[in-house]
Amino acid sequence: MLRSRLARPGRVLRLLDVVPLPTAAGPGEEALTASVTDMAAMTAACAGVDAVIHLGGIPSEDAWAPILDVNINGTYTVFEAARRAGVPRVVFASSNHAVGFAPAASFPVPDGAAPVPDTYYGVSKAAGEALAALYAHRYGSEAVCVRILSCFERPRNPRMLATWLSPDDAGRLFDACVTAPAPGFRVIYGVSANTRGGWVSLDGARALGYEPLDDAERYAPEVLAAAGTGPDAAWPDPDDPVFRYLGGDFTLPSRDAPIPPASSPERPLPVMTAVPGAGRFAGWSLSACRACSRSPYSFGLARPNPVTVPSACPAPADEPASGDDAASQFHVSAVRRVSRSAIMTGSTVRTGVNTPLLDTLRLTFAHHVRRVVTQRNRPRRSNPVRIPRRQGKIFP
């Protein structure tokens, strides 16, 4: 959405994402594939850069573990990589969900209002703003946090008639954020000039030179009709809880994190069978279970592959069943650092404490793991492989 809108003569956009770009890099663009959680890759990506616009991450509510890793640790990594590489400015895509529980009675919510997040996602944005403040005040970075409201091609529901940020206005806003002289640290809002808006301050954005030109009102008839709302119906609907707080449906009980039953026993450890004499083995990454948020410990598996992980955990409805899909990519980045694990040679598993021959492995996981998402081929090694003690939990 922003690529074409931020293109300028003489400006090079270095585009980094954990998945390859949907279209190849064009003139004035450079493409990098890396995770925002990878400090080395991010530091290298920041080399020679004038400003970072940090958009990468999980853009909605999710379980705590991936939010912590990708959004919070990832945002730390971006700020720290920018500092190490000498990038003077970071623009952080925060969200209205950092202040999602701001009540309608408090509208317009002021720039820099104290966080009242409505979800783990909102907490991650508040944490990102705190990191921005840290890097601005401790290290002198310029750090602009944009609490985006609803940035989509067009408004998708009646709430977005107030909260829509048009793609063109988003381009104008982020361009202002990277070009405004000496912004220091600030937390501003990103929204278009919506007739039904006024929910947040635009003073901070305007002070940077942003002037919104679009208005969701031109979509109002079709949006309201699609929602079954007649043209004469009250807006906002006083009985609709979506309008009680800035965060809309993110503030509703439907977003509550599930509480696991206190008495539920840990599931039995999955059992894997190594293949004696297979000779060459691969390291694997597992996705953390999104139903229960637990991350896997690291481990190793024998060929032949694919190996599926027995688990009674049902796939969350919103996640594709398997494959190298985008959802899996999030997990790949989330678990890559723990995927270094046991490597088996022949039917022998060697660890740092010289664990002897095993041909049936019971692999310890934090709780349960739903599926294998990626394979990391490893070169054959003849020497015992050291496994950190905390990771080498392999039992006969």
Ligand X SMILES: NC(=O)c1ccc[n+]([C@@H]2O[C@H](COP(=O)([O-])OP(=O)(O)OC[C@H]3O[C@@H](n4cnc5c(N)ncnc54)[C@H](O)[C@@H]3O)[C@@H](O)[C@H]2O)c1
- Which of 45, 53, 55, 63 touches ligand X (CB under 6 A)? 55
How far apart CA 42 and CA 203 sit, in angstroms, is 32
How far apart CA 21 and CA 287 sit, in angstroms, is 23
Which one, 311 or 333, has the nearer CB to ligand X? 333
Which one, 21 or 278, has the nearer CB to ligand X? 21
- Which of 90, 116, 136, 148 touches ligand X (CB under 6 A)? 148
* Binding range to ligand X, per CB under 6 A, among 11-19, 109-117, 233-241, 378-386: 11-19
Q: Can residue 75 be called a binding residue for ligand X (CB under 6 A)?
A: no
Phi, psi of 324 (to 5 degrees): -90, 55
- Which of 20, 26, 48, 59 touches ligand X (CB under 6 A)? 59
CB 23 within 8 A of CB 31: no
Q: Can residue 56 be called a binding residue for ligand X (CB under 6 A)?
A: yes
How far apart CA 356 and CA 9 sit, in angstroms, is 63
Query: Which of 76, 121, 219, 245 does the annotation list as catalytic?
Result: 121
DSSP structure class, residue 70:
I
State which residue has the least CB distance to ligand X.
Answer: 56
CA 81 to chain centre: 17
Range 173-206 burial, b when 16+ CB lie within 10 A, else e? bbbbbbebeebebbbbbbbbbbebbebbbbebbe
Q: Can residue 189 be called a binding residue for ligand X (CB under 6 A)?
A: no
How far apart CA 98 and CA 246 sit, in angstroms, is 10
**Active-site annotation holds for 135:** no
- Which of 14, 17, 272, 346 touches ligand X (CB under 6 A)? 17
At its nearest, how many Å lie between ligand X and the CB of residue 70?
Answer: 5
Q: Can residue 37 be called a binding residue for ligand X (CB under 6 A)?
A: yes
Q: Can residue 74 be called a binding residue for ligand X (CB under 6 A)?
A: yes
DSSP-derived secondary structure for 12-37: -EEEEESS--SS---TTEEEEE--TT
Binding residues for ligand X, rule: CB under 6 A, are 17-19, 35-37, 55-57, 59, 70, 74, 93, 95, 148, 150-151, 330, 333
Q: Which sequence positions are flagged as catalytic?
A: 121
